Amino acid sequence: MLNNARFRGEFYDVREMRAVELNSASLGFSEELMMENAGAWVAKVARSKGESFLILVGKGGKGGDGLVAARHLALMGAEVMVLFPYKECEIKKETTKKNLERAKMSGVRFVKEFTEADVIIDALLGTGVKGMPRSPAKELIEQSNDFNAFKIAIDLPSGMDPDTGECELCFEADLIVTMHAPKPGLKNLMDKVIVAEIGIPKRADQYLGPGDLLLRPRGIRKGSNGRVAVIGGSKRYQGAPWISALAAFRAGADLVYVYTPTRMDFPELIWRKRTGTRVEEMSLKEALEKDRINVIVVGPGLAEEALEITKEVLEYAKEKDVSLVLDADSLKVLPEIGEKLGWKAVLTPHLGEASKLLGRSLTDSPKERMEAAFDISDSFEACVILKGPIDVVACKDKLVLNTTGNEYMTVGGTGDALSGVVGALLGRDEPWWAAKATTYAVGKSGEICVEERGHASPTCLIETVPKVLHSVK
Ligand SMILES: NC(=O)C1=CN([C@@H]2O[C@H](COP(=O)(O)OP(=O)(O)OC[C@H]3O[C@@H](n4cnc5c(N)ncnc54)[C@H](OP(=O)(O)O)[C@@H]3O)[C@@H](O)[C@H]2O)[C@@H](O)CC1
Ligand SMILES: Nc1ncnc2c1ncn2[C@@H]1O[C@H](COP(=O)(O)OP(=O)(O)O)[C@@H](O)[C@H]1O
Ligand SMILES: [K+]
């Protein structure tokens, strides 16, 4: 698996692509640089296809790519015509505006109508498209499709939904120059696709960054951001589930219940006294049903009750549409239960727990840790956060590393805070995004805590995580 793995998978959906662009920008690689590379690539590929070029330019980033390509093709001695069917003031992207000005200075001819050429380059609608093509893009796509020329689409054919490939009216491309990684919509067209490297550094793919905080917007109804139950705690370990629950609440879950033997005073959390698998007067399943729980965090501090409780939780999750976080003691008993979790769960092992999950000893070698994370994900059909100095997040065919955090986070309770945060985020997003955002944000919070207070206690992490989560929109 590891040898062939592209870090974030083979195809990048719109959100993943945006995340990588933001990560890249945070590393000092600007959008302008990427656009320049994108356009230069298109020009290089296109030049051999004819002598005259009609470039259809939209008002977004893809239009910018097209304007760069126009300038480069003109420099290469080709006859270049640009059709920009909008008003200049409609362009929102600064980089596209700049490239419009540059194209005007570069021997490009601006035309008002569809004009004959050997090659048509589609720079109309890219990853920012919403719905069916509207006028004037619609008519230009239709005219292109009726016209006999070699057709090149930038990034993806205009009109196509980048994530699903849905396409009622699409630019009929002979060749598609897609930027950085193919989009899921291109799956059935791969024989026509060239992937252009536009200067995004490998690090932006391989490691988590601020772009991985691009979570779905919060729902506006109570409960739509997660009703979380944390099931944990025992006579010996009383604090762990409370840390996890408080972390879930602060990370944005609407309602957080704590099913645990001992009460602690947190007015924002709802306590249910749990004795073994009984919750107040109810069975565990009855309680989950009554509280209308849609995310369960199970494990922190469970100790010897872990097997029985985890079993029951997994049974419940199989019947109902709930997401799961398995941590600590629940991870230790998972191999014995042997359930597949149907891609609705996130497992949060450290190296020792990972080793138990796989039944083999593991070292700290990065390669071995990556393989282990993939193997756990495969075996249990779940996403995995393998915690450590360099965390590994793996989910089916996707994997990413994380370097946020520091050695002050080895104190007790940081793992409990992490499982609570991922529980909260599972309330409003899919496991891959919940796991990525949590791993990055908890580590980043550890860095901020140490800088500001000289420690990374769970309490400080819990207070800091919300700010980090909201730092990207
Ligand atoms: N970001 C980066 O770092 C890099 C990005 N790159 C390139 O940028 C592209 C993404 O750029 P983007 O986000 O600006 O979107 P893009 O699709 O070009 O424009 C959308 C425009 O179309 C419009 N529109 C929407 N739907 C419509 C419809 N149905 N029918 C008609 N119009 C519609 C919409 O207008 P609105 O409706 O909002 O007024 C908006 O103005 C990406 O594909 C890649 O090629 C590269 O340069 C590398 C670096
Ligand atoms: N030495 C370290 N360097 C960087 N981050 C660390 C380090 N140790 C732990 N962390 C971070 O602390 C969090 C909790 O991990 P860990 O301490 O392994 O959990 P647990 O509490 O289950 O032992 C994770 O976000 C992890 O990335
Ligand atoms: K870390």
User: 197 and 223: one domain?
Assistant: no
Q: Could you read off the pLDDT of 234-279 as tens digits, one per residue? A: 988 999 999 999 999 999 999 999 999 999 999 999 999 999 999 9
Best mutation site among 16, 17, 65 for ligand 1, i.e. most ligand atoms within 8 A of its Cβ? Answer: 65
- Of 203, 218, 240, which residue sits at a domain end? 203
pLDDT of residue 4: 47
Report yes or no on 8 lying in a domain.
no
Q: Is 244 in the pocket of ligand 2 (CB under 6 A)?
A: no
- 145 CB burial (10 A radius; 0-12, 13-18, 19+): middle
Number of domains in the chain: 2
On whether the CB atoms of residues 120 and 152 are closer than 8 A, the answer is: yes
Sheet holding 150-154, edge to edge: 109-111, 79-83, 52-57, 119-123, 150-154, 175-179, 193-196
* 141 is a domain residue: yes
Q: Is 412 part of a structural domain of the chain?
A: yes
3-state secondary structure of 363: coil
Quick one: 358 and 240 in the same domain?
yes
Does residue 432 share a domain with residue 402? yes
Give me the helix-helix angle, 94-104 and 61-75, nearest 10°.
20
Confidence of residue 2 (pLDDT cuts 50, 70, 90): low
Atom of ligand 2 nearest to the CA of 327: 22
Fill in the amino acid letter for 258.
V
pLDDT interval class at 223 (50, 70, 90) = confident
The answer as to whether 331 is a domain residue is yes
Say if residues 180 and 196 touch (Cβ distance below 8 Å).
yes
Burial of 358 (0-12, 13-18, 19+ CB in 10 A): middle
The CATH number of residue 302's host domain is 3.40.1190.20
User: DSSP class of residue 251?
Assistant: T
Inform me whether the pLDDT recorded for 6 exceeds 80.
no
Whole-angstrom CA distances from 212 to 16, 26, 435 are 8, 12, 10
Task: Please state the rounded mean pLDDT for residues 18-46.
Answer: 97
Q: pLDDT > 90: what percent of the chain?
A: 96
Residues 20 and 208 sit within 8 Å (Cβ to Cβ): no
Q: What is the pLDDT of residue 100?
A: 98
CB 41 within 8 A of CB 196: yes
What is the arithmetic mean of pLDDT over 100-121? 97
Residue 319 forms part of a structural domain:
yes
Q: State the pLDDT confidence band at 451, using cuts at 50, 70 and 90.
A: very high
Indicate whether 41 and 166 sit together in one domain: yes
Calculate how far, in angstroms, residue 63's C-alpha sits from the geometric centre of ligand 1: 7
Mean pLDDT across 295-317: 97
Residues 42 and 182 in one domain: yes
Q: Judge whether 3 lies within some domain.
A: no
Q: Say yes or no: 179 and 217 in one domain.
A: no
Residues 121, 158: contact at Cβ < 8 Å? Answer: no
**Mean local confidence (pLDDT), 381-398:** 97
| DSSP structure class, residue 2 | T
- Are 376 and 450 part of one and the same domain? yes
Among 330, 346, 409, 468, which residue has the most ligand 2 atoms within 8 Å of its CB, making it the best to mutate? 409
Q: Does the beta carbon of 137 sit less than 6 angstroms from any atom of ligand 1?
A: yes
Contacts of 238 (CB under 8 A, 6+ apart): 260, 261, 262, 264, 301
Please identify which residue in the block is written with the tokens 């997040």.
393
* Cβ–Cβ under 8 Å, residues 223 and 255: yes
Average pLDDT, the chain: 96
Please determine, for residue 53, whether its predicted confidence score (pLDDT) is greater than 90.
yes
Q: Which of 203, 220, 242 is the last residue of a domain?
A: 203
Rg (CA), the chain: 26
Q: Is the pLDDT of residue 3 over 70?
A: no
Same domain, 420 and 271: yes
C-alpha span between 327 and 429 (Å, rounded): 19
Strand partners, 282: 279
Average confidence (pLDDT) over 431-460: 98
Contact 264, 239 (CB under 8 A): yes
Mark whether 167 and 227 lie in a shared domain.
Answer: no
Instruction: Answer yes or no: is 5 within a domain.
Output: no
Decide whether any atom of ligand 1 lies within 6 Å of the 295 Cβ. no
Scored b (16 or more CB within 10 A) or e, 339-353 reads bebebbbbbbbbbeb
The token pair that represents 328 in the structure block: 């600590």
> Two tokens at 223?
């409960």
250 and 136 fall within a common domain: no
Q: Is 86 in the pocket of ligand 1 (CB under 6 A)?
A: no
- Residue identifier of the C-alpha nearest atom 19 of ligand 2: 415
> Which of the listed residues 169, 203, 237 is the one where a domain comes to its end?
203
How far apart CA 108 and CA 106 sit, in angstroms, is 6
Same domain, 159 and 275: no
Cβ density class 147-176: b for 16+ within 10 Å, e for less: eebbbbbbbbbbbbbbbebebebbbebebb
CA 337 to CA 157: how far, in whole Å? Answer: 48
Q: Would you state the pLDDT for residue 454?
A: 97
Residues within 5 Å of ion ligand 3 by Cβ?
391, 405, 443
Range of the domain at 116: 14-203
What local confidence, expressed as pLDDT, does residue 272 receive? Answer: 98
**Cα–Cα nearest to 193, from 181, 175, 180, 170:** 175
pLDDT for 341 equals: 97
User: Cβ(349)–Cβ(435) under 8 Å?
Assistant: no
CATH number at residue 131: 3.40.50.10260
Per DSSP, what are the bridge partners of residue 394?
Answer: 384, 399
Residues 218 and 178 in one domain: no
Contacts of 68 (CB under 8 A, 6+ apart): 35, 36, 38, 39, 40, 42, 43, 99, 102, 103
To test ligand 1's pocket by mutation, which of 27, 57, 62, 186 has the most ligand atoms within 8 angstroms of CB? Answer: 62
Query: 222 pLDDT band (50/70/90 cuts)?
Result: confident
Q: Residue with the nearest Cα to atom 7 of ligand 2?
A: 389
Residue 2 inside a domain? The answer is: no
ipTM > 0.90, yes or no: yes
pLDDT (tens digit per residue) in 336-382:
999 899 999 999 999 999 999 999 999 999 999 999 999 999 999 99
The 8-class DSSP code of residue 270 comes to E
Burial environment of residue 337 by CB neighbours within 10 A (0 to 12, 13 to 18, 19 or more): middle
